[in-house]
Structure 1
Amino acid sequence: MDYVIEMLNIRKEFGGFVANDNITLQLKKGEIHALLGENGAGKSTLMNVLFGLYQPEQGEIRVKGKPVHISNPNIANELGIGMVHQHFMLVDKFTVTENIILGKEITSGGQINIKKAEKEVREISERYGLAVDPQARISDITVGMQQRVEILKTLYRGAEILIFDEPTAVLTPQEIKELIQIMKTLIKEGKSIILITHKLKEIMEVADRCTVIRKGKGIGTVTVSETNPNELASLMVGREVVFKTEKTPSTPKQDVLEIKDLVVKDTRGVTVVNGLDLHVRAGEIVGIAGIDGNGQSEFIEAITGLRKSESGSIKVNGKELMGFSSRKITESGVGHIPQDRHKHGLVLNYPIAENMVLQTYYKKPFSKNGILNFKEIYNKARTLIKEFDVRTPSEYTLARALSGGNQQKAIIGREVDRNPDLLIAAQPTRGLDVGAIEFIHKRLIEQRDHGKAVLLVSFELDEIINVSDRIAVIYEGKIVAVVNPKETTEQELGLLMAGSNRKEAGEETHV
């Protein structure tokens, strides 16, 4: 069998912690090979070894049958290996072309020939169906477009083998469809792809074979056409996974959150939340369904005090919170799982223990007279780490070193432990594996069953339908319909999210 890449018996350690334990992965030419595992299983570590960012303690890498030593990413590039990272490596202030040619600039007479570079970028972009404006500034284009720039960067450098690290974690459903099409086009053009993911639906749709790793060990490689999502999930987490969230019918009581005629502008001064009305009651989960860019982010930022509202009313337990600071809002009984865990959820260079008291560090027993009591902070963290199954080498480990799923569990532990009357969960399972998703859904339902109000914002329609008691559809900054999840479908929700009225989408009863 001819393999373009062979990673044989790879072992990678970090100070005694074994991230990859004797893992083998073999990639055939012209295939999409999925690398599946839970958050923290060692998928990204293995690919960072292949891309030259890490050096393995043991094992061998072969490219087209020849043993190679990949000591840095430049050597990986020379061998035809390109990597599209989960967290994009782009310079915001630069244009698309400037980012793509960075380090590989075309010069004539000591000057960068930007026109020639733009022409080349346009040609590659058209060849692979990656419609991107070469002159656009990175800060002005969508996340999906930024990802295309990352793909173009690898193709510009002549990559034959592309590694995609969790490529759909930050994309909308429409962008995911477009990315799958792009991957199929790349394969037709003779490329080979390694796809790091934990989204079983995507593996079933796009991958030829799948290698599963669990807690750093290789479990095996399966042919995708001969398996199913349940079998893959069991291989990944080592037990049967329940995809359908079990919950009793809700028994909602009084209004906890009341929003009336809310108007919010985005950073450009454009009105994106435009007269929004919503109420969430104690003992229910209200899901917000909408296509990205319809005001969801600004709406959540307005409720949590991260963004100033123009007008309207935001009440929690009957108390007006409009214009309050984030801390005042937090202290009024609001918990917030932010959609960007790195920007608004964690201080990445702090130990995970200190991140777990970010909302309460200034209160007893964590501080007295402005002096932090680290013993109490670390005791508390140990309790929460155990209770919320945060997998970390220790409570002293920096937040940045944890996998996305474990970072998210730490945030949820911190917010739930404060026992808020209103828990706002924005994209709470973005980029997480099925085991972590199952855990988080159970926690949200537990909050509801304890009589709390939960506001869930998600782009995952199956999550919205599965977890919510009522679904509010947001379109162009307004709630345009409220539907019962038991009486709706993904298709109907999709039409409402795209701006169809309820008659066009199919009659629904208000709940």
Structure 2
Amino acid sequence: MTQNIVLSLNELTKRFGSVVANNAVDLTLHRGEVLALLGENGAGKTTLMNMLFGHYMPDAGTVDVADGSGALRPLTLGHPQAALAAGIGMVHQHFTLAENLNALDNIVLGSEPLRMLKRDRAGARAKIARIMEHTGLQAQLDVPVGKMSVGERQRVEILKALYRDVRILVLDEPTAVLTPQEADTLFDSIGAMTREGLSVIFISHKLREVLAFSHRIAVLRHGEKVGEIATDEADERVIARMMVGADTPETPRRDLTPGPAVLQLKNLSVTGRSKRDSLENVTLTVRQHEILGIAGVSGNGQSALAGVISGLNQPTSGTLTVDETAIAHPTPRKMIHAGVGRIPEDRHHDGIVGAMSVAENMVIERLDEPEVQTNGLLKREAIHANADRLTADYDVRGPGVTARARLLSGGNIQKLILARVFEQNPKLILANQPTRGLDMGAAAEVARRLLEARTRGAGIVLISEDLDEVLSLADRIMVIHDGALIEADGRDRAHIGLMMAGELT
């Protein structure tokens, strides 16, 4: 099969100061192959792909890419344009689209020479139409990206790469923000493209997808490649052992009797700019010892629901009650003081202040407490001691508690937030997409902490677009669609999927 190699990474090494992100990594990719690249958070997956795409310059190693005749040629490293010219495209986990432009403009942006006096919009539209017909990826070309759902934006990102005639496509967590139905559609399209010769590397933490859609699996651990395996020879236990060096323990789930209500929303509405950020006459109850799972397609009012519970959105009608106390005008401070712990959807934007230290972020919601400050002066020694303890208890890895929080990886930022929330023993926990983008070890730790809080007596609102996560953790399930909540009758995956699509009420 060596004659079909389209990409060869040879002993790629990258250091950031004293940290070795990748150490002499070798990797090959064949024509028409889907290669899954796995590893824990911080294992070096994204760094490796960023070197391939030219965002990072490796400290050592080379990359060879097949040309039009199939011969391997050295790739000029450190230049994204060289990667694009060689037929390599990359779709990042965090979208890089201009929300004020429509899909058509986003797709062609950067692909036309600056010296062009007139843009060939008709030609671009025709080429995109051919790509959409061939791949099954559909997008409304004249709709601004800012008005699209997350799944639609993901399709625009992939179309943008395919428009540049890439032969190698790198997808970093391609389904992290997609529902199971959208993910299946995406991989059906990818399968059709690989049968035509496209080669794909995809980074993922969802082992069900890896086992269903990839041909081969490569695993990184602590910046080094620790093994490869054909997908049809692998299972979840084998992959987990390769990723973490040991079996991942399962958290036992106990049957508990729900207690008194800790959260009640009655006929609550939120008027937003669109249905994506609105709620309509929502009623729900969450009790002690209970996890209420909220399943839904992205952009159906989840952000509005989370905003009300966290105190960021004001309801236009209806009532919100926490632990039998009505909260007329919710604010973040009121909700925190009412005993609400908040795990936000966007951990970078809403979960931390990146310029502040890890230690400061650990206490950022407790700045009025005497353990943290006296007469407005922060108790630095106590804050650092608290951070030392929590980083050890929650395995928050990074350059230290005095380093800026933005220097942590996404998984370790999530661990920081979990430490801050669970340490306060909240009555109610809002867990909004708590495992998005996390590796299986980190996701298992989140699940363990949530189940522990449930056992302790907390009520939990779990908002997740990962239906498997909802099914595994929730005691009750409600589906959100167009800003309305519907109680799920049973736990049938296909039935709930149809409710999420709005086909059942």
TM normalised by structure 1 equals 0.92
- Does 1:99 find its partner at 2:106? yes
Taking structure 1 as reference, are residues 475 and 409 closer, same or farther at Cα in structure 2, changes over 3 Å only?
same
**Once structures 1 and 2 are overlaid, which stretch shifts more, 47-56 or 268-277?**
268-277
Cα contact 1:53–1:71 (8 A) shared by 2: yes
1:236 corresponds to 2:225: no
Structure 1 residues 112-121 or 124-133, which shifts more?
A: 112-121
**Residues 236-278 of structure 1, C-alpha deviation per residue, up to 9 Å, x if partnerless?**
11111245x4122113222111221111222237884222221
Per the alignment, residue 6 of structure 1 pairs with: 8
Residue 227 of structure 1 corresponds to 234
* Other-structure match for 1:68: 75
Which residue number in structure 2 is paired with residue 491 of structure 1?
Answer: 494
Q: Which amino acid aligns with 2:153?
A: Q
Superposed displacement of residue 482, structure 1: 5.5
For residues 259-408 of structure 1, the aligned pairs below 5 Å read 259-268=265-274, 272-408=278-414
How far apart, in 2, do the equivalents of 1:268 and 1:284 lie? Answer: 31
Matched, 1:58 2:65: no
Q: Is the 8 A contact 2:149 2:298 kept in 1?
A: no
Give the equivalent residue in structure 2 for 1:18: 20
Report the AA paired with residue 142 of structure 2.
Answer: Q
Deviation track 1:23-44 (CA, whole Å, cap 9, x = no partner) reads 1111111111110111111100
1:124 is aligned to: 131
**Residue of structure 2 equivalent to 1:153:** 160
Of 29, 32, 38 in structure 1, the residue corresponding to residue 31 of structure 2 is 29
CA RMSD of aligned residues (A): 2.2
**Does residue 455 of the first structure (1) align with residue 458 of the second (2)?**
no
- 1:83 corresponds to which residue? 90
For residues 495 and 123 of structure 1, do their structure 2 counterparts lie closer, same or farther at Cα, with a shift above 3 Å needed? Answer: closer
Query: Following TM superposition, by how much is the alpha carbon of 1:125 offset from its aligned partner in structure 2, in angstroms?
Result: 3.0
- Quick one: structure 1 residues 474 and 78, their matched pair in 2 at CA, closer, same or farther if it must change by over 3 Å? closer
Alignment of 1:210-225 (within 5 A): 210-225=217-232
Q: Aligned letter for 1:489?
A: D
Q: Which residue type is aligned with residue 221 of structure 1?
A: E
**Whole-angstrom distance in 1 between the partners of 2:412 and 2:360:** 15
Residue pair 2:372, 2:378 contacting (<8 A) in 1 also: yes
Unaligned runs of 5+ in 2: 67-71
Deviates more, 1:449-458 or 1:103-112: 103-112
Partner of 2:260: 254
**Offset, 1:154:** 1.8
> CA 1:271–1:38 in structure 2 vs 1: closer, same or farther (change >3 Å)?
closer
Shift of 1:84: 0.7
In 1, distance between residues paired with 2:7 and 2:346? 34
Pick which of 25-34 and 266-275 moved more: 266-275
Kept after mapping to 2: 8 A contact 1:187/1:193: yes
Moved more, 72-81 or 371-380: 371-380
SS at match of 1:239: coil
What is the match of residue 508 of structure 1? none
| Further displaced range: 277-286 or 37-46 | 277-286
Instruction: Write the distance in 2 (CA, Å) between the matches of 1:343 and 1:55.
Output: 28
Partners of 1:265 and 1:271 within 8 A in 2: yes
Q: Hey, what's the Cα distance between the residues in 2 that align with 1:475 and 1:79?
A: 43
What secondary structure, in the 3-state scheme, does the structure 1 residue paired with 2:35 have? strand
Aligned positions, number: 498
Match among 420, 424, 434 for residue 428 of structure 1:
434
Are the equivalent residues in 2 in contact too, given 1:97–1:134 (CA < 8 A)?
Answer: yes
- In the alignment, structure 1 segments of 5+ residues that lack a partner are 503-511
The structure-2 alpha-carbon separation of the partners of 1:499 and 1:192, relative to structure 1 and needing over 3 Å to count, comes to closer
Deviation string 1:396-455 (CA, Å, 9 cap, x unpaired) is 333333222211111111111122111111111111111111111110111111122112
**Counterpart contact for 1:40–1:402, Cα < 8 Å:** no
Tell me the SS of whatever aligns to 1:171.
coil
Distance 1:185 1:493 in 2: 27
User: After alignment, is 207-216 or 261-270 more displaced?
Assistant: 261-270
Report the AA paired with residue 108 of structure 2: I
Q: Decide which of 194, 200, 204 is 1:197's aligned counterpart.
A: 204
1:55/1:417 Cα in 2 relative to 1: closer, same or farther (>3 Å)? same
Alignment-derived partner of residue 443 in structure 1:
449
Number of the residue aligned with 1:44: 46
Q: Is the 8 A contact 1:106 1:113 kept in 2?
A: no
Q: Aligned-pair distance for 1:114? A: 3.3
| TM-superposed deviation, 1:108 | 7.9
1:54 deviates by 0.8
Deviation at 1:173, TM superposition (A): 1.7
Kindly state the Cα deviation for residue 224 of structure 1 after the two structures are TM-superposed: 0.6
Distance 1:152 1:267 in 2: 27
Q: 2-side partners of 1:163 and 1:498: how far apart?
A: 28
Give the corresponding residue for 1:173.
180
The one-character-per-residue Cα deviations of 1:372-397 (angstroms, maximum 9, x if unpaired) are: 33333332222111111112132233
Residue 150 of structure 2 contacts residue 298 of structure 2 at CA under 8 Å; is this kept in 1? no
Aligned mate of 1:467, from 464, 473, 478: 473
Identify if the C-alpha distance between structure 1 residues 501 and 270 changes in structure 2 by more than 3 Å, giving closer, same or farther. Answer: closer
